[in-house]
């Protein structure tokens, strides 16, 4: 369930090659992946992302920051594989709604895959968080914010995604203005 898989693949290759230029990784969709049903040698990572949906029955559209993305990762140096599954959502207005495919912005894809690469570095290469995200890397800001808010008792999942486009969706919440606007935490 991924629209524009080329964007996902190109973005993933660019980010992983910045970190591990001599290793080759492949990213592919597998809609049969299930949470916690790993095969030996694979590691799992789940993340929530921000995407837009459109109901194929009534035409209603909505934006959700709760789009579940499941990744399985396996490294047999110098080759790595990532399988991913993006879960759809149903329209809340239609009684016979289908699971609709999410549409991610290029920025949303970048953030999801940036966090995936950090997780690959941590889980597959056993790099420390500091080594995985150098100080000049924009992903460092995500990690620092996540750790800061977790230390204050705010779960990392409560960090809000950045706005997409001009709509300003996903900005600071009126109910929770103390939360840092930024993508979902990588750790």
Do 130 and 118 meet the contact criterion of CB atoms below 8 Å apart?
Answer: no
Those residues with Cβ within 8 angstroms of residue 61's Cβ, 6 or more apart along the chain or in another chain: 52, 53, 54, 55
pTM of the model: 0.70
Q: Provide the residue-wise pLDDT of the chain in tens; the chain has 187 residues.
A: 577 899 999 999 999 999 999 999 999 999 999 988 888 899 999 999 999 999 999 999 999 999 999 999 999 988 999 999 999 999 999 989 899 999 999 999 999 999 999 999 999 998 876 666 555 555 555 555 555 554 554 444 444 343 333 333 333 334 433 333 333 345 4
Two tokens, residue 181:
């606007």
pLDDT tens, 133-155?
A: 555 555 555 555 555 554 554 44
Pairing of strands 24-29, 43-54: unpaired
């Amino acid at each position: 369930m991924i629209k524009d898989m080329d964007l996902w693949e190109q973005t993933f290759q660019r980010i992983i090659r910045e970190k591990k230029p001599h290793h080759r990784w492949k990213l592919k969709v597998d809609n049969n992946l299930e949470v916690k049903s790993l095969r030996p040698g694979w590691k799992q990572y789940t993340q929530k992302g921000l995407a837009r949906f459109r109901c194929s029955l009534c035409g209603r559209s909505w934006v959700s920051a709760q789009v579940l993305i499941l990744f399985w990762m396996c490294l047999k140096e110098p080759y790595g594989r990532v399988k991913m599954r993006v879960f759809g959502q149903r329209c809340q207005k239609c009684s016979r709604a289908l699971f609709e495919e999410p549409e991610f912005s290029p920025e949303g894809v970048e953030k999801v895959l940036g966090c995936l690469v950090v997780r690959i570095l941590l889980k597959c290469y056993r790099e420390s968080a500091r080594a995985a995200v150098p100080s000049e890397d924009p992903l460092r800001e995500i990690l620092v914010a996540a750790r800061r808010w977790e230390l204050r008792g705010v779960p990392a999942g409560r960090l809000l995604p950045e706005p997409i486009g001009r709509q300003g969706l996903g900005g600071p919440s009126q109910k929770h203005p103390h939360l840092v606007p930024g993508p979902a935490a990588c750790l």
